[in-house]
Amino acid sequence: MSSEVITSRAEDYSRWYTDVVQRADLADYAPVRGCMIIKPYGYALWENIQQALDSRFKATGHQNAYFPLFIPESFLNKEKEHVEGFSPELAVVTIGGGEELQERLVVRPTSETIIGYSMAKWIQSYRDLPLLLNQWANVVRWEMRTRLFLRTMEFLWQEGHTAHATHDEAEEETLRMLGVYYDVYFNEAAIPGIKGRKSNQEKFAGALRSYSIEAMMGDKRALQACTSHNLGQNFAKAFEIQYTDENNALQHAWTTSWGLSTRMVGAVIMTHGDDQGLRLPPRIAPIQVVIVPIGKNDDERTQVLPIANALFDELKANGVRVKLDTRFELSPGFKYNDWEMRGVPIRVEIGPKDVQNGTVAVARRDVPGKAGKQFVPREGLLPFLKQLLEDIHGSLLRQATEFRDSHIHEVADDYGTFCEILKEGWAYTWFCGSATCEAKVKEDNQAVSRNFPLDQERGKGKCIVCGTECDERALFAKAY
């Protein structure tokens, strides 16, 4: 593979993205419009993300369960705002076994309703609370405009669902899980997201309050990286999720839901990728180190292969995800480009001269060209590579943070300046949160509020749109 087959980001960012997904063997198009086939390399990346999340979920007391793919249509109709929000995206089964169904079945777009039904049966007393569940599943939403990983009709995700005795406990859970997501993005994927509360217009259908992490992609558009919702008592009342409290009085529970999907793979590509392809953060990369032995003939290969094999065994035995590339029929340059395309953090090259000198060539993917390559002693290579993996994570995080911060601009009270900023970046400004003001920004700029950042200095200012005094600032951007 070669970088020549990738459209440059400057020429066509959307085409670049699709080129990288396909050339790096992450995914392919399915025969059904809007669906994707996740290839082994892409699925290995998702599995590493999944493991990072799953261990954190279990550490915070959540248990995995699984609920049906098909949901009775009447379940969705029980929560009015929820069904209105999802109606345009529903896939509905009307015929089963050759006969028309008495009740139509909705293919799972999300599971609040079916899980609410189950919680109502499982929860009787305050002793049954909190109930902390998570589900790894696929969902279907009938999207009209799709893009691999970012927005597909069927996608993989996890969805957490919990029930609590009080509003405050539910709110604490909602924010705790938002923090878990932030931790995974920051410490595993080297993506510096921004935690915040969604506006009422942008919140989840049926939620009391929604929170998100917003991340800046390489074209300066925003990506909603995940969401966490305090559902209040809306679903509890719709599905009669009730418990008797310590005074033997009947109360409705307070519920939450939160989710992160394979969209995170798209976030990794667009945050870190360059014109040569992927640049994968080491902690979630399917392959952390690739070893490329170089030998033009049998004599040279006899020299380099024992060293390469020994290094492979050493790295694997010490927990490094390592690949040995013995495709001697291909040129070294082709293989270098191939592994650069796939975003492998470290490439180790071993040629006959390296064997003689007791050295290897080490190239780091986060630093392009000759600047990222050095010759190091074979002796003591393991600790050197492990430290280099940590350095690469820090480097990618630093680059992403600097890029983000340089394209977020504060604006006080000039709507014209605000609109100019949105052409090329994010705007951070006072916002009243009204539907009217949100709609005007969207109409004028094809942008919406991303969230009200949780970490902001409190004060007073005038809404950038209507001039009404308000006490919070929001981030605005064009988004995926």
Residue-wise pLDDT tens digits, 249-282: 999 999 999 999 999 999 999 999 999 999 999 9
* pLDDT computed for residue 260 by the predictor: 98
pLDDT > 90? residue 97: yes
For 106-134, how does the pLDDT look when each residue is reduced to its tens digit (9 = 90+)? 999 999 999 999 999 999 999 999 999 99
Mean per-residue pLDDT over the chain, rounded:
96
Read off the pLDDT band of 206 (50, 70, 90). confident
Tokens 């998570």 sit on residue: 134
CA distance 194 to 262: 19
Structure tokens at 207: 């939620």
Architecture of domain 408-477: 2-Layer Sandwich (3.30)
284-290: average pLDDT: 98
Tell me the average pLDDT across 292-309: 96
Query: What phi and psi values does residue 255 have, to the nearest 5 degrees?
Result: -120, 160
CB of 271 closer than 8 Å to CB of 218: yes
Q: What residue segments make up the domains of the chain, in order of their start? A: 13-272, 289-386, 408-477
pLDDT score recorded for residue 144: 85
Give dist(CA 402, CA 205) in Å, integer: 34
Please tell me whether residue 130 adopts helix, strand or coil conformation: coil
Cα distances from 299 to residues 9, 273, 355, in angstroms, run 43, 38, 13
**pLDDT mean over 323-342:** 96
Count of residues in the chain: 480
Q: Given this chain, do its domains 289-386 and 408-477 carry the same CATH topology?
A: no
Name the one residue in this structure whose structure tokens are 């050095």.
374
Kindly report, residue by residue over 436-475, the tens digit of the pLDDT: 999 999 999 999 999 999 999 989 999 999 999 999 999 9
Triad 386, 392, 396: Cα angle to 5° = 155
Please check the confidence at residue 15 and state whether its pLDDT lies above 70: yes
Using only C-alpha atoms, what is the Rg of the chain? 25
Which has the higher per-residue pLDDT, 454 or 4? 454
CATH 3.40.50.10470 at 13-272, yes or no: no
**E strand or H helix at 316, and its extent?**
helix 298-317
Angle at Cα 117 formed by Cα 116 and Cα 122, nearest 5°? 90
Find out whether 91 and 107 touch, Cβ atoms under 8 Å: yes
At 2 the pLDDT is: 44
pLDDT higher than threshold 90 for residue 232: yes
pLDDT number for residue 205: 87
Strands 131-140 and 63-64: parallel
Instruction: Provide the token pair at 413.
Output: 């009270």
Q: Which helix (H) or strand (E) holds 54?
A: helix 40-59
pLDDT band at 1 (very low <50, low <70, confident <90, very high): very low
Work out the pLDDT band at 86, boundaries 50, 70, 90: confident
Whether residue 332 is preceded by a cis peptide bond, meaning omega within 30 degrees of 0, is no
- State mean pLDDT over 345-370: 96
Q: Which fold has domain 289-386?
A: Rossmann fold (3.40.50)
Q: What pLDDT is attached to residue 149?
A: 97
What residues contact 51, with CB distance under 8 A and at least 6 apart?
A: none
pLDDT-derived band at 430, boundaries 50, 70, 90 = very high
Pairing of strands 242-244, 131-140: unpaired
Q: Which residue(s) pair with 473 in the sheet?
A: 430
Backbone torsions φ then ψ of 55, nearest 5 degrees = -65, -35
- Cβ-contact 362, 380 below 8 angstroms: no
Give the whole-angstrom CA distance, residue 199 versus residue 211.
9
Beta partners for residue 244, in sequence order:
125, 250
DSSP code at position 479: B
**Mean pLDDT of the 317-323 span:** 98
82 confidence band (pLDDT: 50, 70, 90): low
In DSSP terms, 93 is beta-bridged to: 105
pLDDT at 444: 98
Query: Using one digit for the tens of pLDDT, what is the confidence trace for 16-67?
Result: 999 999 999 999 999 999 999 999 999 999 999 999 999 999 999 999 999 9
Distance of CA 113 to the CA centre of its chain: 24
SS3 167: helix
- How confident is the model at residue 463, as a pLDDT? 97
Q: Is the dihedral of CA 161, 166, 167, 173 positive or negative?
A: negative
